[in-house]
Amino acid sequence: MKTRLFTIFLFIFSFSLVFAGGSKEADNSRNNEVVIYAYDSFCSEWGPGPAIVKAFEEKTGYKVTMISAGDAAQVLSKAAFEKAKPKADVLIGIDNNLLDKAKAENILESYKPQNADTLIDSNLVLDSEWFLSPFDWSSFAMIFDSYANIPSPTCLSDLTKDIYQKKIILMDPRTSTPGLGFVAWTLAEYGLDGIEDFWKALKPNILTMAPGWDTGYGLFTSGEAPLVISYTTSPAYHIYDGEDYRYVALEFEKGHPMQIEGAGLVRNAKNPEGGKAFLDFLISKEAQEIIPETQWMYPINNTVELPSCYEVSPVPAKTLTVDQAELEKAVEKVLAILAG
């Protein structure tokens, strides 16, 4: 009887060792993997993600799993939903208009990448606590198809004119950072009390509220409408691609809001060291040189030279900013108007 009990004990003990060894091996495997949530256009074959990931893997030996999670607002929502048991190590795409929401969700861990003080100009730092590290930036702008048989608008109020009926493509501010940026633009110019009249007048002129930038901009370039919210840097792509000067970023005298996109380390990430290594690499010259001709935004690394196609991108004389709490209220008002 004792012999049988001893044999059973040895079997259980041996099985436990094998199981523990397997778990340790799995943990070690995860320590070599960096899981990244990013928005669709960043992850796409024509976006910067694949090239940046490849260069990072070759340089560091880490294995990256990059997951496309929709637009940037959806990246934030996915991480917030999983925050009790986070799956990602790094989030990419949360910008200056979503920073306060990300902080409120408590999904990010403070981390300042190596050499950030020398590589990133102070006006591009998103957050003094470094919950987000900036990796690119541009200013929002209306892009105009100059082949359209209508005059180009010269200010936001022009967009409400009858001549632009069903000729404007915007994006949903709940799921798209350009969509949120446009609401911020109207808030900066008209104030919380004044945006209702503007959006009521604008409503008949909106062809669609696309779920994300890639969908909306694709409708624009396919000729569905002559105006779309995008970036001052967007026309650079068309010049680079061998097209003419058909698509124009319009500069409005009263100013433009800026978007600074960030990447952050997930709180309680399974591989924080791998996440930190990726954030270090993301602001390096090697990674940042990929940004201009794939992301079509300005790099934040001040040592990177821009390609000549960026000469068509206007630099707004005035940058507009808004209070984040007021922006949330403005989004609610806008959505109510559009639903009415």
Give the residue with greater pLDDT, 172 vs 244. Answer: 172
The mean pLDDT of 115-131, rounded to a whole number, is: 97
Least confident window among 16-30, 70-84, 98-112, 142-156 = 16-30
**At residue 40, what is the residue type?**
D
Give the residue with greater pLDDT, 7 vs 331. Answer: 331
- From 79, 153, 90, select the one nearest 279 (Cα to Cα): 90
% the chain with pLDDT above 70: 91
Least confident window among 6-15, 63-72, 254-263 = 6-15
Give the 3-state secondary structure of residue 295. Answer: coil
Give the residue with greater pLDDT, 61 vs 26. Answer: 61
Three-state helix/strand/coil letters over the chain: CHHHHHHHHHHHHHHHHHHHHHHHHHHHHHHCEEEEEECHHHHCCCCCHHHHHHHHHHHHCCEEEEEECCCHHHHHHHHHHCCCCCCCCEEEEEECCCHHHHHHHCCEECCCCCCHHHHECHHHCCCCCCCCEEEEEEEEEEEEECCCCCCCCCCHHHHHCHHHCCCEEEECCCCCHHHHHHHHHHHHHHHHHHHHHHHHHHHHHEEEEECCHHHHHHHHHCCCCCEEEEECCHHHHHHHCCCCCCEEEECCCCCEEEEEEEEEEECCCCCHHHHHHHHHHHCCHHHHCCCCCCCCCEECECCCCCCHHHHHCCCCCCEECCCHHHHHHHHHHHHHHHHC
CATH, domain 32-137+259-306, list 3.10.20.30, 3.40.50.2300, 3.20.20.370, 3.40.190.10: 3.40.190.10
- Residue 320's pLDDT is 97
The mean pLDDT of 308-318, rounded to a whole number, is: 95
Per-residue pLDDT for 287 more than 70? yes
- From 201, 208, 253, 255, select the one nearest 227 (Cα to Cα): 208
% the chain with pLDDT above 90: 87
The mean pLDDT of 257-269, rounded to a whole number, is: 97
Confidence of residue 132 (pLDDT cuts 50, 70, 90): very high
Per-residue pLDDT for 336 more than 50? yes
Give the 3-state secondary structure of residue 263. Answer: strand
In this chain, the answer to whether the domains covering 32-137+259-306 and 138-258+313-339 adopt an identical fold is yes
Per-residue pLDDT for 24 more than 80? no
Per-residue pLDDT for 235 more than 70? yes
- Residue 252's pLDDT is 97
Confidence of residue 1 (pLDDT cuts 50, 70, 90): very low
62, 56 Cβ separation under 8 angstroms:
yes
- Taken in order 36, 40, 42, 45, is the CA torsion positive or negative? positive
Per-residue pLDDT for 328 more than 70? yes
- Residue 114's pLDDT is 97
Least confident window among 104-108, 144-148, 211-215 = 211-215
Per-residue pLDDT for 9 more than 80? no
116 phi and psi angles, rounded to 5 deg: -60, -40
38, 67 Cβ separation under 8 angstroms:
yes
Dist CA 200 CA 163 (whole Å): 16
Per-residue pLDDT for 12 more than 80? no
Per-residue pLDDT for 294 more than 80? yes
Confidence of residue 11 (pLDDT cuts 50, 70, 90): very low
Dist CA 297 CA 310 (whole Å): 9
DSSP 137-150: EEEEEEEEETTSSS
Dist CA 125 CA 122 (whole Å): 5
Residue given tokens 């091996």 in the structure block: 25
CATH top-level class of 138-258+313-339? alpha beta
- Residue 30's pLDDT is 65
The mean pLDDT of 61-71, rounded to a whole number, is: 95
Domain spans, the chain: 32-137+259-306, 138-258+313-339
Dist CA 167 CA 238 (whole Å): 21
Q: What is the mean pLDDT of the chain?
A: 92
- Residue 29's pLDDT is 58
